[in-house]
Amino acid sequence: MERFEIIATTFYGLEEILAQEITEELKAEKISILNRAVRFQGDTEALYKANYLLRTAVKILKPIAAFRANNDEELYEQVKAIEWENYLTIKKSFAIDSVTKSRIFTHSQYSAYRTKDAIVDRFKKFEKIRPTVDTRNPDVRINLNINENLVILSLDSSGEPLFRRNYRLEQVEAPINEVLAAAILKISGWDKKTPLLDPMCGSGTFPIEAVLLATNTPPGKFRKFNFQTWLDYNESLFNKIKTDAELTIQPLQTQITGSDLNPKAIEISANNARRAGVRKMIRLEKADFFELSEKENLFVVMNPPYDQRIQIEKIEEFYEEIGSHLKHHFLNSNVCLITSNMEALKRFGLKPKQKFKLFNGPLECRLTTYEIYPGSTKKKHLRPKNNQNLMG
């Protein structure tokens, strides 16, 4: 197959883990790390696999043109010169997504509008009829990226971002992103065999992603992709990729548990896990974290409230009590915690083994890992108000 450039986008701080995934999962060449993206060489099979198998990618783009433009007219003419009939027909709808970082092109929506005009005008000139623009569910999604005067146009093979696995159709407040959850599990060093507990499981994202990771279940199994509507879509190739991936799914070798103080969160987690086909592999229970005791040899992953969307009275003391409870009741265990509340994190009371800077949406966060050893006298704990769920 012909090889071409592919760009996999991701979130800040996940570039290296994504590059590692690309190396392990794809027959990729010339892998290079960019800002919030990884570039590599691959073929159509690699493009399909990237969408279906990668857990830490957000979009898979196929660049088709790069040029320099110094004004709107140059942008229009250069776009119009591209042979769009290789990617579109008058029966195919399309949409433009634009990202601009430029002193020349200061309005991304206007740049997208001019790009759309250029494509439509080319079809009107040669086909005498225009293709349809559909911003919600287009057959072909085009990515426009402008950095100063450098313009890169790519086909977006994913469509909806890849963190939309299509199982989390219900959620509690402040849920963690599926891609971020999968990346945290990979970064944390969890061996897929140690029993895993999320004691503030919210929508169930961590437990579900843990099962998918531990069983080698493809994250793209539950959704469709934009490349399936392309003119050159190879259905038999994609079916073979899916069949081969099914053969690599493994039995779960450990216990994965999610608990939460909020019974609604447990119900939502159960529904999401059922849609992901992993409900029988996750133990879900309504439980107050501070009443869990005498736990040993676990891997604990947590996304406690940041005091942003979920308000906790005396948040710094709350974090102190979380750390204290872990120290006294979760002996010989590893803990992985993500938060954006740096002041509260200082009160956690445990010495971090590792620290990573990540973003949960727009919030700058710290991912910290800990090893729990026997501690001292137990302290009285604080509890959140109104029996609200502890994790999004």
- The CATH number for 4-156, chosen from 3.30.10.20, 3.30.2130.30, 3.30.200.20, 3.20.20.60, is 3.30.2130.30
Neighbours of 237 (CB within 10 A): 15
pLDDT score of 391:
40
Tell me the residue type at 87. Y
Confidence of residue 313 (pLDDT cuts 50, 70, 90): low
Mean pLDDT for the stretch of residues 142-166? 97
Q: What is the mean pLDDT of residues 215-225?
A: 97
Please state the rounded mean pLDDT for residues 116-122: 96
3-state secondary structure 318-329: HHHHHHHHHHHH
| pLDDT value at residue 105 | 96
Domain boundaries, the chain: 4-156, 178-215+250-387
Q: Which residues of 70-92 are buried (b: 16+ CB within 10 A; e: fewer)?
A: eebeebbebbbebebeebbeeeb
Q: Which pLDDT score, from 0 to 100, does residue 41 have? A: 97
Q: Hey, do 4-156 and 178-215+250-387 end up sharing a CATH topology, with the first three levels equal?
A: no
Cα 382–chain centre separation: 32
Q: In degrees to the nearest 10, what's the CA dihedral of 56, 191, 363, 324?
A: 170
pLDDT tens, 66-103?
Answer: 999 999 999 999 999 999 999 999 999 999 999 999 99
Tokens of 312: 């906790």
> pLDDT (tens digit, 9 = 90+) per residue, 161-186?
999 999 999 888 778 999 999 999 99
Judge whether residue 201 has pLDDT over 60. Answer: yes
Q: Taking a C-beta distance cutoff of 8 angstroms, is the pair 159, 143 a contact?
A: no
Is 178-215+250-387 in CATH node 3.20.20.70? no
pLDDT tens digits, 53-74? 999 999 999 999 999 999 999 9
Q: How confident is the model at residue 375 (pLDDT cuts 50, 70, 90)?
A: low
Residue 392 has pLDDT above 70, yes or no: no
Q: Give the contacts of 20 (CB within 8 A, at least 6 positions apart).
A: none
> Which of 181, 158, 204, 206 has its CA nearest to residue 17?
181
Helix axes 235-247, 44-53, angle to 10 degrees: 50
Q: Give the mean model confidence (pLDDT) for residues 289-293.
A: 94
pLDDT exceeds 90 at position 299 = yes
